[in-house]
Structure 1
Amino acid sequence: MKRRIYWLMPDLASARSVMHDLVRARVDIARIHFTGPEGMDMTGLHAANVWQTSDLVHAAKTGLVVGSACGAVFGLVAALLFPIVGDDPEWEVAVLLAILGGVVGAWSASMIGISIPSPRLRRFESAIAQGRILLMVDLPRSRVRDIEALLQSAHPEARFEGEEPQVPALRSSA
């Protein structure tokens, strides 16, 4: 199981130095994510993408559930009231509409969720707006304390901002 640790860097030079130290400590570059103010030049850093900075995953899950439920209800009504062949209910229609509703619901909700900032990062908005850079590192539980100790000793200018018990959903494992 992975854990995510958060650190705030005061500037780009500090963030680049931290990136270098994490790579030297054999942290997979795909597990290091930086986010800063809009338009900041993140050259030399592994910038966070929409999976880390938006509400995409939560929105897609919600859309899947709501879409599947609506599709199932419409499918049951269609199966019972409007059979395609004969007079018997067409249960396959209910299943098909539930699946279709889930797919359409997940897709449409994810289009909305991608434009909504992640609630997990809400507490960092003011610091990022002031020009600080947020570091998110996804680590195996066994490496968390070592990496925290490395960052505390090598980068006193950085500020530890907490840890999540597990990495948010839909993260690939390494």
Structure 2
Amino acid sequence: MRKRIYWLLPNLESATRTMNELLLARIAEQHIHFVASEGVDMTGLHAANVLQTSDLVQAAQTGLLLGAGLGAAAGVAVAYNLGAHTPAGVVIAMAGLGAVLGTWSSSMIGSSTPSRRLTRFQPALNQGQYLLMVDVPRTRVTEIEELLARTRPEAHFEGLEPNVPAFP
């Protein structure tokens, strides 16, 4: 299980040095994510992808549940009105179709919606700062926080997310 640590860094030089320090501390690059405003130079940094910067995963989960529920309800209505010989099959098929369509449509919307987890950082990002999100094992949280506090006095610790989502 991992925890996500948030840090705000003032400039590209500080962000690059921080990334190098984390790599030397044996944090894999795939667990280091940087976010900055559009148009800000991210050369040499591992930029966060759409899974970390949008609400895609949460929207897909919501769409799956709502789609399956609505599909099942439509399946019950169809089976009742048509007098189907296998009403359970109709309900299951419609629930599956609803789940697929709900997941697809919701994920399309979620991929274009900024992450609610990152909205509190938007003013700093608009000022040109860099947001570091580093996912570390629970046993190393204190060690990594102390490393960054000691080596990056210009950076600001912005909190800890107790549960890192499985996908981003």
TM-score (norm 1): 0.93
Kindly state the Cα deviation for residue 79 of structure 1 after the two structures are TM-superposed. 1.5
Residue 136 (structure 1) aligned with residue 123 (structure 2): no
Query: 2:122 is paired with a residue of what secondary structure?
Result: helix
Match of 1:73 in 2: 73
Instruction: Identify which of 102, 107, 112 aligns with 2:104.
Output: 107
Unpaired runs of 5+ residues, structure 1, are: none
Which amino acid letter does the alignment assign opposite residue 135 of structure 1? L
Name whichever of 36-45 and 145-154 sits farther off: 36-45
Unpaired runs of 5+ residues, structure 2, are: none
After TM superposition, the structure 1 = structure 2 runs for residues 86-165 of structure 1, keeping only pairs within 5 Å, are 88-165=85-162
Which amino acid letter does the alignment assign opposite residue 62 of structure 1? T
Q: Distance in 2 between matches of 1:90 and 1:145?
A: 56
Cα deviations across residues 92-129 of structure 1 (Å, max 9, x unaligned)? Answer: 01101101101110110010011110000010000000
TM-score (norm 2): 0.97
Number of residue pairs aligned between Structure 1 and Structure 2: 168
Match of 1:39 in 2: 39
Q: Distance in 2 between matches of 1:139 and 1:76?
A: 47
Match of 1:29 in 2: 29
Kindly state the Cα deviation for residue 168 of structure 1 after the two structures are TM-superposed. 2.0
Kindly state the Cα deviation for residue 61 of structure 1 after the two structures are TM-superposed. 0.8
- Percent identity over the alignment is 54
Which amino acid letter does the alignment assign opposite residue 30 of structure 2? A
Cα deviations across residues 120-158 of structure 1 (Å, max 9, x unaligned)? Answer: 001000000000000000111001110111100011011
Runs (4+) off by over 6 Å? none
Which amino acid letter does the alignment assign opposite residue 160 of structure 1? F
Q: Distance in 1 between matches of 2:130 and 2:8?
A: 6
Which amino acid letter does the alignment assign opposite residue 4 of structure 1? R
